[in-house]
Amino acid sequence: MSNIVILTAKGGNSTITNKNVVPVLGTPVMLFPLRAAKMSSKVDHVFVTTEDELIKGLALKEGVEVIDRPADLSRPESQHKDVILHAVLEAAKLHPDAENFVVLLGNTVQVTAQLIDQCLDLLASEDCDSVATVWKAQDDHPYRALKVDTNGYAQSFLGVEAGSNRQAYPSVYYYDQGVWAFKRSCAMEQKGPHPWVWLGEKCRLLERPWVTGRDIHGWIDVSASAWYLGSIQCIDLDAATLATD
């Protein structure tokens, strides 16, 4: 049985033009997660799913396989769940023995080979359908979220009576733009927690430090990515722990 990485990288983009190939420290951003996948000791095959010729060229130059993403999955409103399902089906045609899949984003540098290995090891050893990397977000807890009413005034988003002590809140986690590792069947059944339906019904969360929760959507993220690579990546290598509360 083989482990397959799928890197999703669409061309164009509305926030930063061609954000998946924006240079970070002189290297197109998509090459950081792509090379992490290639360096993983647990990964057998690496694919890039895209409709963009520049991204295809970079992928082929790196020696990985390309999945041609159809036009209806390359629009701004296209759903990640549909892109992932298409990519899993296409990869499985070439590698019928594929059992586990890892999906990475093409617009983040904050992924390491060690992290991919850790997720695949956990997926193999635990009674679970999937593993997702997350950060704990007490500062950005839903209890603290606000919305604006029809008169333009702030209201509690959830309407929950809660104190200001964040330590008293139940733990809350957000996907940190790092790794989704899941069984092949999860992509087909799509029974996971919304909006991450490809994660199945039994997903383990691997908690990383807060700073890892960034992908590139604005120019400040480019600076944050360069800072991560130069200042904190070494800490991230051994920092992930299983979220249990």
**In this predicted model, what pLDDT tens digit does every residue of 66-102 receive, in sequence order?**
999 999 999 989 999 999 999 999 999 999 999 999 9
- Strands (E) across the chain are located at 2-8, 23-24, 27-28, 45-50, 65-68, 98-105, 130-136, 146-148, 154-156, 173-183, 203-207, 241-242
Name the one residue in this structure whose structure tokens are 């509690």: 156
Tell me, what's the pLDDT at 244?
77
Q: Which residues of 185-211 are buried (b: 16+ CB within 10 A; e: fewer)?
A: ebbeebebeeebbbbbeebbbbbbeeb
Percentage of residues of the chain with pLDDT beyond 90: 82
Q: Mean of the pLDDT values across residues 115-128?
A: 95
- pLDDT confidence bin for 207, thresholds 50/70/90: very high
Q: Over range 194-208, report the average pLDDT.
A: 96
Backbone angles phi, psi at 139, to 5 degrees: -65, -35
Q: Domains in the chain and their CATH numbers?
A: 2-135+172-242 (3.90.550.10), 138-171 (no CATH)
For residue 234, the model assigns a pLDDT of 61
For the cut 90, the answer to whether the pLDDT of residue 214 exceeds it is: no
Question: What per-residue confidence (pLDDT) applies to 183?
Answer: 98
Degrees (nearest 5) of the Cα angle 42, 47, 51?
Answer: 160
The predicted-structure confidence for 167-177, as pLDDT tens digits, reads as follows 999 999 999 99
Left if phi > 0, otherwise alpha if psi is -120 to 50, otherwise beta: which for 180? beta
Which pLDDT value is given to residue 243? Answer: 84
Q: What Å distances lie between residue 227 and 49, 136, 164, 195, CA to CA?
A: 28, 21, 31, 30
pTM, 2 dp: 0.93
Share of the chain above pLDDT 70, in %: 96
pLDDT score, position 31: 98
| Predicted local distance difference test score (pLDDT) of residue 209 | 81
12 pLDDT band (50/70/90 cuts)? confident
Distance CA 106, CA 29 (A): 7
